[in-house]
Amino acid sequence: MDLNQKRTRTVDRVDSVDPDLVSPESTPMCPFPDEVLEPVLSLINSHKDRSSVSLVCKDWYNAERWSRRHVFIGNCYSVSPEIVVGRFPKIRSVTLKGKPRFSDFNLVPEDWGADVYPWLSVLAKAYPFLEELRLKRMAVSDESLEFLAMNFPEFKALSLLSCDGFSTDGLKAIATHCRNLAELDIQENGIDDLGGDWLSCFPETLTTLQVLNFASLNSEVSFSDLEKLVTRCKSLRVLKVNRTINLDQLQKLLLRAPQLTELGTGTFTQDLVTRPVADLEATFGSCKNLLTISGLWDTNSLYLPVIYPACASLTFLNLSCAALRSFELAMLLIHCKSLRRLWVLDTVGDMGLEAVGSWCPLLEELRVFPADPFEQENVAGVTESGFVAVSRGCPKLHYVLYFCHQMTNAAVATVVQNCPGFTHFRLCIMNLGQPDYVTNEPMDEAFGAVVRTCPNLQRLAVSGLLTDLTFEYIGKYAKNLEILSVAFAGSSDLGLKYVLGGCPRLRKLEIRDCPFGNAALLSGLTKYESMRSLWMSACNLTMNGCRVLAKEMPRLNVEVMKDEDSEDSQAHKVYIYRTVAGPRRDAPPFVLTL
Amino acid sequence: MDLINFEATELRLGLPGSTDEWDKKSTASPVNTNKRSSSEMGSSVTDETDSSRSPPPAKAQIVGWPPVRTCRKNIIQGKKSEPEMGSGMYVKVSMDGAPYLRKVDLKVCKSYGELLKSLQEMFKCIIGLYSEREGYKSEYAPTYEDKDGDWMLLGDVPWDMFLTSCRRLRIMKSCEVIES
């Protein structure tokens, strides 16, 4: 085929979408013909890079849109499905995020929106060969799952994280009709668990499964069907079962799938008086490829040792479902030399965290969850000393999520000095308005130290007693901050003004129960279009303030959620986000778009 | 203090009057509690230094605080608890060296003899006969955990008394019996 014919073909393709965007011959602006540009661009996977590419010139915009296979939509209301399919003709994989993050903590009423169905009906027409769908905080009904199963014959991968509105009936449809399914990943969803028979709906001909995660479902599945499924899916690399699977069953599964790289166990205890199962220990030893272990419900020092033979190569250990004590964790960690990520419950205490510091020098991420978040009295848990101990032993630590009841400014300053590479620093002092318990001062200096010492900080969550000074520090020093979470903090409008006046890279800001009012909101007028979204609830915003913002910034959706208790003039819950799709057409009655 | 009034008006799960229980349950309607939390925040900041105050208002549960996902809250609370087995029916039976336990219905067995027969069949072992003086002559000794948590040799007490106090069974290997 000669060069002229190739160019004609390119022109025809573009014409079919937008007759004005005719691709010229190679120009000095763009020396590469499409035939070269497209294959090169197809190697670029990061959606941020692709965004940059598409802004270079019209040719690159076109080449990029034709070569894009995966589209990431961080806010489902920022764009309409029609616009997406209009721009990208050849998508095979879609990631969609819906509700604001605070919906995880019951701050967003039900029926708020983020229904995936309108997206599916458009995607079915435009991308009949869609292979992957990853949803986070979307409302997904059984009808949607059935529609998905029936309308996308090449469908391979479904991942549902923090979604709600569906039941196991929807999963039945997926299992029954998706003949090429490679991934079914169901995590932390508000799901109606009607029984475990969905698993038995996988046909005996299905052998392509690589990822199966049903750890968050409660009902018992047919073990024999599960065992058969695992046996015939030779490429299975991720298997995360639910709590109803016991140790004996787990062992059988592991014998069938020694190639697993990620394992989520079921209940990890048995009411035996004697030693742990020697066979199970040997089985773990034969799983040479395990990188991740999670689950481990109900486990204790009797049974945990069976995983020791698999620990040397583990990079991620998720113990957040196992209420371990300090010595149990310590004994386990001795075997975990390669650990990079560790999730634990605060039952391990400061001594457990000292063990982390001693035995895990390669640790990059630590998450400490509260075992009993609502217990106010007689709480043990972890304190500032555990935090410092980890930072001393783990200089590569860059991601921390830490729930505690007490903290000091000095400790946090020490931690960041030991680990200046923090990218994600999420500290949750669970007692509201808690000052430094030694000096009784606000925790301002702690977060000041964090933002001053950690130049790569992308995500920050603050807590404790905080004045506007914290936010002055954040605005001034947190140059790379993208996500900020604030609750029960600040003294006045100044706090929010500082943040909005600084933080050039801010994308997501979520605030609850802070004394920030209209003046502060409006000080960020020009900033909101460069951000994905802003959430403010139980602050001092009024409807009038929000109306002013909406009027000044027509390309933002300014949504106010009304509730019966608050006065009409108060803007109780406000969600502001940039959009090219205009106001929502599916807003429920309690959501007012101003 | 305003907070006390709010507690009375708060919507929550649980019977009226069951004040101790509610802070362990998952949060109720999110709609009504945010007003309280704002004023609560105000009080907790200004009242910090007043030591004569009653304990901090932290008892009042605030929607979405601490920021822990619902699924995570249930991890410790969701532990399955074994129902009381005092009246007989199904009890667990463990055997030293066996990889998993079994369950046996004590009500079905009308006597020790029948129970021992079932156990022998289940675990393919010979436990043998009971004698008051020497216990069991085989390499196994059937024991049970009683209501006090003690491990007792099967057969010493009348069957009916055994039924009321047996929590679970364990077939021990005789050498261990002698050592303990």
Identify which of B23, B64, B78 has the shortest CB distance to residue A105: B64
d(CA A191, CA A142): 10
Q: How deeply is A65 buried, as exposed, middle or buried, from its count of CB atoms within 10 A (0-12, 13-18, 19+)?
A: buried
pLDDT of residue A5: 40
Distance from CA of B91 to the nearest CA of A (A): 12
Whether the per-residue pLDDT at A15 is higher than 80: the answer is no
Helix axes A117-126, A142-151, angle to 10 degrees: 10
Whether the per-residue pLDDT at A492 is higher than 70: the answer is yes
d(CA A440, CA B45): 12
CB pairs under 8 A between A and B: 129
pLDDT of residue B160: 80
A201 — pLDDT class (breaks 50, 70, 90) = very high
B44 in A contact zone (CB under 8 Å): yes
Q: Mean pLDDT throughout A274-294? A: 82
Identify which of B31, B78, B96 has the shortest CB distance to residue A109: B31
User: Are residues B58 and A321, on separate chains, in Cβ contact within 8 Å?
Assistant: no
Between these two residues, A196 and B55, which has the higher pLDDT value? Answer: A196
Whether the per-residue pLDDT at A7 is higher than 80: the answer is no
Phi first, then psi: give them for residue A41, nearest 5 degrees. -65, -25
Identify which of A105, A270, A372 has the shortest CB distance to residue B100: A270
Range 118-177 of B in CB contact (< 8 A) with A: 168, 170
Distance from CA of B51 to the nearest CA of A (A): 13
User: Are residues B70 and A403, on separate chains, in Cβ contact within 8 Å?
Assistant: no
d(CA A563, CA B30): 10
Identify which of B41, B71, B101 has the shortest CB distance to residue A432: B41
A6 — pLDDT class (breaks 50, 70, 90) = very low
Contacts of A403 in chain B (CB under 8 A): 66, 68
d(CA A269, CA A299): 5
* A-interface mutation test, from B19, B39, B59, B72, most A Cβ less than 10 A away: B72
d(CA A219, CA A193): 7
pLDDT of residue B13: 55
User: Are residues B44 and A274, on separate chains, in Cβ contact within 8 Å?
Assistant: no
Mean residue pLDDT across chain A:
91
Strand locations in A180-295, DSSP E? Answer: 183-187, 190-192, 211-213, 238-240, 262-264, 292-294
Between these two residues, A481 and B14, which has the higher pLDDT value? Answer: A481
User: Are residues B64 and A430, on separate chains, in Cβ contact within 8 Å?
Assistant: no
pLDDT of residue B41: 37
Q: Mean pLDDT throughout A241-266? A: 93
Contacts of A435 in chain B (CB under 8 A): 48
B155 — pLDDT class (breaks 50, 70, 90) = confident
Identify which of A320, A321, A572 has the shortest CB distance to residue B34: A572
Q: Mean pLDDT throughout A526-542? A: 95
Contacts of A514 in chain B (CB under 8 A): 41
Contacts of A373 in chain B (CB under 8 A): 66, 68, 73
Contacts of A432 in chain B (CB under 8 A): 40-41, 44, 58, 62, 65
Contacts of B176 in chain A (CB under 8 A): none
Contact A271, B103 (CB under 8 A): no
- Cα torsion at A491, A497, A499, A500 (round to 10°)? 150
Q: Which two tokens stand for residue A141?
A: 């009904």
Distance from CA of A274 to the nearest CA of B (A): 6
Q: Which two tokens stand for residue A546?
A: 């929000």
pLDDT of residue B166: 87
Looking at A54-68, A75-89, A428-442, A510-524, which range is the least confident one? A54-68
pLDDT of residue A278: 74
Contact B144, B167 (CB under 8 A): yes
pLDDT of residue B97: 85
User: Are residues A537 and B44, on separate chains, in Cβ contact within 8 Å?
Assistant: no
B69 in A contact zone (CB under 8 Å): yes
Contacts of A374 in chain B (CB under 8 A): 23-24, 61, 66, 73
Distances (CA, A) of A56 to A50, A286, A327, A458, A533: 10, 52, 57, 26, 26
Contact A433, A515 (CB under 8 A): no
Identify which of A105, A162, A565 has the shortest CB distance to residue B35: A565
User: Are residues B30 and A102, on separate chains, in Cβ contact within 8 Å?
Assistant: no
Contacts of B78 in chain A (CB under 8 A): 243
Question: What region, left, alpha or beta, does residue A347 occupy, with left being phi > 0 and alpha being psi -120 to 50 degrees?
Answer: alpha
User: Are residues B34 and A371, on separate chains, in Cβ contact within 8 Å?
Assistant: no
DSSP letter assigned to residue B112: H
Q: Mapping DSSP to helix (H, G, I), strand (E, B) and coil, where does residue B119 land?
A: helix
User: Are residues B37 and A538, on separate chains, in Cβ contact within 8 Å?
Assistant: yes
Distance from CA of A439 to the nearest CA of B (A): 12
Q: Mean pLDDT throughout A334-359? A: 96
Between these two residues, A171 and B98, which has the higher pLDDT value? Answer: A171
Distance from CA of A66 to the nearest CA of B (A): 39
pLDDT of residue B30: 36
Express as a percent the part of chain A with pLDDT over 70.
93
Whether the per-residue pLDDT at B180 is higher than 70: the answer is no
Contact A400, A424 (CB under 8 A): yes
Identify which of B41, B64, B76 has the shortest CB distance to residue A106: B64
Q: Mean pLDDT throughout A559-569? A: 82
User: Are residues A106 and B70, on separate chains, in Cβ contact within 8 Å?
Assistant: yes
Mean residue pLDDT across chain B:
66
Q: Which two tokens stand for residue A92?
A: 């095979």
pLDDT of residue B51: 39
pLDDT of residue B75: 64
Q: Mean pLDDT throughout A440-452? A: 98
What's the complex ipTM? 0.84
Express as a percent the part of chain A with pLDDT over 90.
78
Contacts of A488 in chain B (CB under 8 A): 37, 41, 44, 65
pLDDT of residue B105: 86
Contact A47, A72 (CB under 8 A): yes
User: Are residues A104 and B23, on separate chains, in Cβ contact within 8 Å?
Assistant: no
User: Are residues B73 and A403, on separate chains, in Cβ contact within 8 Å?
Assistant: no
User: Are residues B94 and A106, on separate chains, in Cβ contact within 8 Å?
Assistant: no
- Cα torsion at A68, A72, A78, A79 (round to 10°)? 30
Closest-approach residue (CA) in chain A for B101: A272
User: Are residues B68 and A369, on separate chains, in Cβ contact within 8 Å?
Assistant: yes
User: Are residues B34 and A563, on separate chains, in Cβ contact within 8 Å?
Assistant: yes
